[in-house]
Amino acid sequence: MNSKIFIEKINDFISQIKKETVLVLDRAPWHTSEATLSMISEWESKGLFIIFLPAYCPHYNLIETLWRKMKYEWLNIKDYRSKNTLNKKLKEIFQEYGNLYNIEFSMSQFM
C-alpha cells in the first residue's frame, strides 16, 4: 500500500457513497502522508469525513483484535509453509468468520 493507491481507492469509494460518511483511519503512513492530507478538504466537500485514531490505540481499532486472534490462535506454524498455504488459510478464516471463527467483543473494553 502507498499514498497513491490509497487515494485512488478512497476516490473510488467516494463515487459510491449516497450520504455523508465518516471514515476512521489509523496512523498508517499512507493515511497521514502529505498527499493524503491534501485530499481531506476535497473529500469533505464530497461528503466523506476523516477521523484519525490516536497514535497507538489497538483497543479502538477492531481490526487489530482480529489480526491478533488470527496470528496467535487461528493460524498454525504449518500455515506459514508457503504463500499459497497462508493465503488458503486466511481465505478460510475470512469465509468462515462468524461460524468456525468468532470473536466475542465486550463494550467494557471501549469505556
The model carries a pTM of: 0.56
Question: Where along the chain do its domains lie?
Answer: 3-52, 62-110
d(CA 34, CA 4): 11
Residue 109 pLDDT more than 60?
Answer: no
pLDDT band at 26 (very low <50, low <70, confident <90, very high): confident
d(CA 55, CA 68): 18
Per-residue pLDDT reduced to its tens digit, 69-89: 999 999 999 999 999 999 999
